[in-house]
């Protein structure tokens, strides 16, 4: 019973983080229409920086956030305008662009992870921050995890309010629904799609820093994070923030239970299992491809 | 290069390749192995991704599965049986991936393949830990590097030959159509999912066999070697560099890139992945059509002549006027049996009962019923947004109705996919033309004839398609890419594609819209000639002039409901119709 509760609490903590993880990607994919396969690698980059700042300068990850989030925003803005916009200029049709942009993102993931591999290799990163046990519903949770969860939910809520309550958010949602119609309402699609891509990158970095607070990681793990983010996005529905929250929780709890009661080696299999379920139960709309 | 020279070059090249181990030392064999390995993987990858534009990122998964087939079973199963076994396992895995994700849009396929190698790597690690207790296996065989080299050469030859055959078959054409416009392909009767899954399975089997052949080279195999992500990456780079849609592409790409990466790996082992990524991005950016894609451009520059833009992979290379198979070369007349006459009291062809379709809160079609008899031209008219096109999409299988029945020749069309409905004899055109700009006119019509099921061979289909196009006045455009046609000819081409299915029922969605007045007359005459031959036609139309002239009977729709039915004269005089079109009048 106690282990059941432990698994559930761990699952919920991870689930909250996964929801945030997916939120950044769903913004990038749903609005900027870029399937960012380098997402997990950027996440690891933020996590590595947070670790280094903590280890070398005793900088609390909370302070790292202040530095790393704007940095990630700028980097992603540059990537969007210097890489993807340029690609779109060179290709006429979106259809031709789509295949190329996936390949480009795939290349980008090798560039980002390759750069980190060149510097750090496959070494494991971790640091002990706020390793204080806290009693929660009869289960013991380290304070760092709890803080990560709370921050994740706070970031998520902030992003959600930005999308729903502001003029910018309205413009962004308009682009998500109809990128061709949005300019007719006076929305600068290029500009706000870029902003959203960068904002997704900011959330990506935030997730990375939060994960670094309690989990051991290394550079090759980027792929797994990209995949988990994608699966949550698909389960929750592209561009659906509330869907991402629920899907993230489902993924987190499933993973935690599989790891605890079956085998930790099968967590990715569990992720794929959810993926297959999500895809098979999806309505197969034939126009899906044309309309997205 | 003529096709005969092309056919001759390959065996010579392969023979020379096969001779390398006799002349060279171990270094050349190792390098040759690497080139062959990557050439096979890239060719197999390109066979599927090239025409369909479905990007698979899981080459390493299939390769690794093949390698592990050998690693786990070589002590118990003879080597010669392991290759087919690896192929089978690779194909089964591909079928699973394909059936899961290839029914829906391409993005899911790419995402699924993106993590597949990592998934299988972890599963393998888990399996070995929990079953054998140690990760990794030793493969001790007496297979030499030369034998591996020759096996790979043979596999490359086989793959190239298979690709050549595929490109010349109906399925090659089907793959191209899928890449250009999948929905239009389905309405031409192509079973798109089946075609995609089968080709994916075949190419994945080749990747698995490659893994099985190469496995003994390693003596020690662990999941990190077998499922190395670089293996998913290299084929894509190579195929892209050479030119994804071209037969020679992967071969042309493999040689320089393997040399380059070999050097890079030796000199910059730590920054290798990084450089790989940068190079890849540069290739995607700078040469999207690959090295071979640059050649026609260079030739154009040199000749400074307006050489016709060669369609990337047109399959109907100039076909010499082959002996026409008269018996099997149906003309437009053959579309319907000559005994049928255009009489409005023919037997019932299509029956629609209580049809309803809602999108969210909007009811696009509401409790609609009508009957279409053989030989009549049936009009569906109504203001914009009244649900006309939705009716057409319901009949042709794009949507499933929420309620109601559609009976075609007395049989229900419920749960039938567009391609099944097309094969059953309902053809359609699209409101906004859906052609494949890069494919020639002939390549539009041939598959519809083939997949429609009334023509047996590709040769017969070509003859049939040629005649059909000529009959529609498009004889001079047979080898012209459809993107270069003007609007009426694109519409005519769509009609030809629909007619090539030899439909019992033809659905025309605002086929006359957007034509200028003289084109319109030509268009109406064309429809009249079809009608004169007894083809049953459903016409969605805004032009009352056309409705009056062409339709035997019509219904008027407004907000998803039928508000009038009868001959055009009756219907257009109906007060409700007048109200819907012109608004309330004072004296009404």
Nearest to A87 among B275, B277, B285 (CB): B285
Q: Contact B478/B440 with Cβ under 8 angstroms?
A: yes
CA atoms within 13 A on the CB side of B545: 8
Q: Which SS3 state, helix, strand or coil, does residue A133 take?
A: strand
Q: Contact A252/A18 with Cβ under 8 angstroms?
A: yes
Angle at B73 between CA B68 and CA B78, to 5 degrees: 120
The residue behind tokens 């007619």 is B499
Whether B108 sits inside 8 A of A234 (CB atoms) is: yes
pLDDT class for B328, splitting at 50, 70, 90?
very low
Phi, psi of B239 (to 5 degrees): -65, -35
User: Tokens standing for A113?
Assistant: 């992870």
Q: Contact B61/B122 with Cβ under 8 angstroms?
A: no
| Residue of higher predicted confidence among A232 and A292 | A232
Closest residue in A to B235 (Cα) is A103
Expressed as residue numbers, the domain containing A14 is: 2-291
Our CA-based measurement puts residue B409 at a distance from the nearest CA of chain A, in whole angstroms, of: 25
Closest residue in B to A224 (Cα) is B115
Q: Tell whether A88 lies on the interface with B, counting CB pairs under 8 A.
A: no
Residues of A in contact with B243 (CB under 8 A): none
pLDDT at B317: 37
Among A141, A162, A217, smallest CA distance to A24 is for A162
Q: Is the confidence at residue A185, as pLDDT, over 50?
A: yes
For an interface test with B, give the residue of A121, A272, A291 to mutate (most B CBs within 10 A): A272
* Range among B238-252, B305-319, B409-423, B442-456 with highest mean pLDDT value: B409-423
pLDDT at B204: 95
Residues of B in contact with A86 (CB under 8 A): 285
Rounded to an integer, the average pLDDT of A133-149 is 80
Q: Is the confidence at residue B515, as pLDDT, over 50?
A: yes
Q: What DSSP string describes A156-189?
A: HHHHHHHHHHSHHHHHHHHHHH-TTTGGGGT--H
Q: Is the confidence at residue B120, as pLDDT, over 80?
A: yes
Closest residue in B to A229 (Cα) is B111
pLDDT class for B2, splitting at 50, 70, 90?
low
pLDDT at A208: 94
Whether B106 sits inside 8 A of A289 (CB atoms) is: yes
pLDDT class for B307, splitting at 50, 70, 90?
very low
- Can you list the positions of beta strands (E) in chain A? 133-136, 139-142
pLDDT at B132: 78
Q: Tell whether A291 lies on the interface with B, counting CB pairs under 8 A.
A: no
Q: Is the confidence at residue B477, as pLDDT, over 60?
A: yes
Q: Contact A157/A164 with Cβ under 8 angstroms?
A: no
Min mean pLDDT across B22-36, B311-325, B424-438 is at: B311-325
Closest residue in B to A288 (Cα) is B105
pLDDT at A176: 82
Q: Contact A33/A247 with Cβ under 8 angstroms?
A: no
Q: Cα-Cα-Cα-Cα dihedral of A116, A122, A128, A132, to 10°?
A: 110
A175-204 residues touching B, CB cutoff 8 A: none
**Count of the separate structural domains present in chain A:** 1
Provide CB contacts within 8 A for B274, sequence distance 6+: A110, A111, A114, A115, A117, A118
Residues of A in contact with B182 (CB under 8 A): 289
For an interface test with A, give the residue of B52, B60, B122, B236 to mutate (most A CBs within 10 A): B122
User: Tokens standing for B391?
Assistant: 């009716």
Q: Tell whether A272 lies on the interface with B, counting CB pairs under 8 A.
A: yes
pLDDT at B336: 39
Query: What is chain A's mean pLDDT, rounded?
Result: 85
Q: Tell whether A89 lies on the interface with B, counting CB pairs under 8 A.
A: no
Q: Is the confidence at residue B40, as pLDDT, over 90?
A: yes
Q: Tell whether A111 lies on the interface with B, counting CB pairs under 8 A.
A: yes
pLDDT at A113: 92
Nearest to B278 among A106, A111, A266 (CB): A111
pLDDT class for B213, splitting at 50, 70, 90?
very high
* Range among B305-319, B446-460, B470-484 with highest mean pLDDT value: B470-484
Q: Contact B220/B90 with Cβ under 8 angstroms?
A: no
Q: What DSSP string describes B436-464?
A: -TTSBHHHHHHHHHHHTTS--SHHHHHHH
Closest residue in A to B53 (Cα) is A99
Closest residue in A to B123 (Cα) is A266
Among A272, A30, B4, B565, smallest CA distance to B12 is for B4
CA atoms within 13 A on the CB side of B198: 10
Query: What is chain B's mean pLDDT, rounded?
Result: 82
Nearest to A227 among B114, B129, B284 (CB): B114
Rounded to an integer, the average pLDDT of B295-314 is 51
Which structural domains are found in chain B, ordered by start?
9-228 (no CATH), 343-582 (3.40.50.300)
Q: How many residues does chain B have?
A: 588
Kindly report the CATH number assigned to the domain that includes residue A211.
1.10.3470
Q: Is the confidence at residue B212, as pLDDT, over 90?
A: yes
Min mean pLDDT across A146-160, A227-241, A271-285 is at: A271-285
Among B509, B282, B483, B479, smallest CA distance to B395 is for B509
Provide CB contacts within 8 A for A150, sequence distance 6+: none
For an interface test with B, give the residue of A93, A108, A109, A111 to mutate (most B CBs within 10 A): A111
Q: Is the confidence at residue B305, as pLDDT, over 60?
A: no
| Residue of higher predicted confidence among B37 and B579 | B37
pLDDT at A1: 59
Closest residue in B to A290 (Cα) is B105
Looking at B128-229, list the stretches that DSSP marks H as alpha helix, in order from N- to C-terminal side. Answer: 145-168, 170-180, 182-187, 192-214, 223-226
How far, in Å, CA of B367 to CA of B562, rounded?
Answer: 8
How far does CA A225 lie from the centroid of its chain?
8
Whether B107 sits inside 8 A of A35 (CB atoms) is: yes
Q: Contact B531/B516 with Cβ under 8 angstroms?
A: no
Min mean pLDDT across A58-72, A186-200, B441-455 is at: B441-455
Residues of B in contact with A255 (CB under 8 A): none
Q: Is the confidence at residue B201, as pLDDT, over 90?
A: yes
Nearest to A107 among B108, B229, B280 (CB): B280
Q: Which SS3 state, helix, strand or coil, does residue B428 take?
A: strand
Percentage of chain A lying above the pLDDT 90 cut: 33
ipTM of the complex: 0.85
A224-254 residues labelled b (16+ CB within 10 A) or e (exposed): bbbbbbbbbbbbbbbbbbebbbbbbbbbbbb
| Residue of higher predicted confidence among B83 and B177 | B83
pLDDT at B301: 60
3-state secondary structure B503-522: CCEEEEECCCCCCCHHHHHH
User: Tokens standing for B298?
Assistant: 């260079």
pLDDT at B342: 44
Min mean pLDDT across A83-87, B254-258, B295-299, B351-355 is at: B295-299
Q: Is the confidence at residue A92, as pLDDT, over 70?
A: no
Q: Tell whether A122 lies on the interface with B, counting CB pairs under 8 A.
A: no
Rounded to an integer, the average pLDDT of A219-238 is 89
Whether B55 sits inside 8 A of A99 (CB atoms) is: yes
Residues of B in contact with A276 (CB under 8 A): 100
pLDDT at A102: 86
How far, in Å, CA of B246 to CA of B50, rounded?
Answer: 8
pLDDT class for B339, splitting at 50, 70, 90?
very low
Whether B285 sits inside 8 A of A86 (CB atoms) is: yes
User: Given the DSSP bridges, would you call strands B220-221 and B137-138 parallel, antiparallel or unpaired?
Assistant: antiparallel
Rounded to an integer, the average pLDDT of B315-340 is 39
Whether A265 sits inside 8 A of B126 (CB atoms) is: yes
How far, in Å, CA of B58 to CA of B55, rounded?
Answer: 9
Rounded to an integer, the average pLDDT of B124-151 is 85
Residues of B in contact with A222 (CB under 8 A): none
How far, in Å, CA of B41 to CA of B207, rounded?
Answer: 6
Rounded to an integer, the average pLDDT of A165-184 is 83
For residue A82, how many other CB atoms are within 10 A of its CB?
10
Rounded to an integer, the average pLDDT of A107-121 is 90
Q: Which SS3 state, helix, strand or coil, does residue B539 take?
A: strand
Whether B236 sits inside 8 A of A103 (CB atoms) is: yes
Q: Contact A108/A37 with Cβ under 8 angstroms?
A: yes
Whether B183 sits inside 8 A of A290 (CB atoms) is: yes
């Amino acid at each position: 019973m106690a282990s059941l509760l432990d698994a559930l609490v761990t699952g919920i903590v991870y689930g909250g983080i996964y929801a945030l993880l997916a939120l950044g990607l769903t913004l990038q994919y749903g609005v900027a229409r870029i399937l960012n396969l380098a997402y997990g690698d950027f996440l690891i980059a933020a996590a590595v920086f947070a670790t280094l700042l903590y280890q070398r300068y005793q900088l609390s990850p909370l302070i790292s956030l202040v530095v790393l989030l704007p940095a990630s925003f700028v980097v992603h803005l540059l990537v969007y305008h210097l890489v993807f916009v340029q690609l779109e200029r060179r290709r006429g049709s979106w259809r031709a662009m789509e295949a190329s942009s996936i390949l480009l993102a795939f290349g980008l993931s090798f560039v980002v992870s390759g750069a980190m591999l060149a510097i750090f290799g496959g070494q494991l990163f971790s640091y002990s921050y706020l390793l204080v046990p806290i009693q929660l519903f009869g289960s013991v949770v380290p304070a760092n995890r709890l803080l990560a969860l709370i921050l994740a939910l706070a970031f998520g809520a902030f992003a959600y309010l930005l999308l729903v309550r502001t003029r910018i958010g309205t413009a962004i949602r308009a682009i998500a629904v109809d990128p061709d119609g949005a300019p007719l309402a006076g929305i600068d699609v290029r500009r706000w799609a870029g902003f959203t891509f960068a904002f997704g990158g900011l959330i990506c970095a935030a997730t990375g820093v939060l994960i670094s607070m309690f989990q051991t990681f290394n550079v090759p793990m980027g792929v797994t994070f990209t995949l988990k983010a994608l699966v949550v996005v698909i389960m929750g529905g592209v561009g659906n923030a509330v869907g991402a929250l629920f899907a993230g929780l489902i993924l987190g709890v499933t993973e935690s239970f599989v790891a605890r009661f079956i085998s930790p080696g099968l967590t990715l299999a569990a992720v794929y299992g959810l993926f297959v379920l999500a895809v098979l139960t999806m309505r197969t709309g034939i126009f899906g491809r044309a309309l997205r | 290069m003529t096709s005969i020279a092309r056919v001759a070059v390959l065996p010579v090249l392969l023979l020379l390749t096969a001779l390398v181990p006799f002349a060279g030392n171990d270094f050349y064999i190792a390098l040759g192995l690497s080139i062959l390995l990557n050439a096979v993987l890239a060719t197999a990858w390109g066979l599927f991704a090239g025409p369909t534009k479905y990007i698979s990122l899981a080459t390493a998964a299939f390769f690794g599965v093949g390698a592990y087939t050998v690693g786990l079973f070589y002590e118990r199963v003879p080597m010669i049986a392991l290759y087919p076994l690896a192929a089978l396992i690779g194909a089964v895995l591909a079928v699973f991936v394909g059936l899961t994700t290839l029914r829906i849009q391409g993005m899911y396929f790419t995402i699924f393949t993106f993590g597949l190698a990592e998934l299988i790597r972890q599963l393998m690690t888990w399996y070995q830990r929990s079953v054998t207790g140690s990760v990794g296996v030793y493969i001790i065989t007496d297979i030499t590097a030369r034998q591996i080299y020759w096996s790979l050469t043979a596999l490359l030859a086989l793959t190239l030959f298979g690709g050549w055959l595929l490109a010349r078959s109906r399925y090659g054409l089907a793959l191209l159509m899928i890449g250009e416009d999948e929905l239009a392909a389905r309405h031409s009767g192509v079973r798109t999912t089946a075609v995609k899954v089968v080709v994916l399975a075949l190419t994945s089997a080749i990747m698995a066999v490659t893994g099985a052949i190469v496995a003994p080279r390693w003596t020690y195999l662990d999941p990190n070697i077998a499922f190395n992500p670089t293996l998913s990456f290299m084929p894509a780079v190579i195929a892209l560099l050479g030119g994804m849609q071209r037969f020679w592409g992967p071969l042309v790409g493999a040689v320089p890139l393997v040399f380059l990466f070999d050097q890079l790996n030796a000199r910059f082992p730590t920054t290798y992945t990084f450089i790989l990524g940068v190079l890849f991005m540069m290739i995607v950016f700078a040469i999207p059509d690959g090295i071979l894609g640059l050649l026609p451009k260079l030739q154009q520059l040199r000749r400074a002549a307006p050489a016709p833009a060669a369609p990337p992979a047109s399959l109907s290379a100039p076909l010499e006027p082959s002996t026409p198979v008269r018996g099997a070369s149906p003309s437009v007349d053959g579309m319907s049996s000559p005994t049928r006459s255009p009489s409005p009291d023919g037997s019932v062809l299509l029956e629609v009962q209580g049809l309803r379709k809602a999108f969210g809160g909007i009811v696009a079609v509401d409790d609609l019923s009508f009957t279409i008899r053989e030989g009549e031209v049936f009009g569906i008219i109504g203001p914009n947004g009244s649900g006309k096109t939705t009716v057409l999409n319901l009949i042709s299988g794009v949507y499933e109705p929420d309620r109601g029945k559609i009976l075609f020749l007395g049989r229900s069309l419920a749960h039938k996919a567009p391609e099944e409905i097309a094969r059953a004899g309902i053809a359609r055109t699209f409101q906004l033309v859906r052609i494949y700009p890069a494919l020639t006119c002939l390549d539009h019509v041939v598959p519809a004839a083939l997949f429609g099921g009334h023509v047996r061979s590709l040769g017969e289909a070509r003859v049939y398609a040629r005649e059909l196009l000529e009959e529609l006045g498009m004889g001079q455009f047979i080898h012209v890419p459809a993107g270069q046609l003007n609007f009426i000819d694109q519409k005519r081409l769509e009609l030809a594609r629909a007619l090539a299915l030899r439909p019992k029922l033809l659905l025309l969605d605002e086929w006359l819209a957007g034509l200028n007045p003289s084109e319109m007359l030509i268009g109406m005459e064309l429809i009249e000639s079809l009608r004169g031959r007894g083809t049953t036609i459903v016409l969605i139309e805004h032009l009352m002039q056309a409705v009056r002239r062409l339709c035997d009977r019509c219904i008027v729709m407004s907000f998803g409901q039928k508000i009038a039915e009868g001959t055009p004269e009756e219907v257009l005089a109906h007060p409700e119709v007048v109200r819907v079109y012109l608004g309330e009048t004072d004296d009404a």
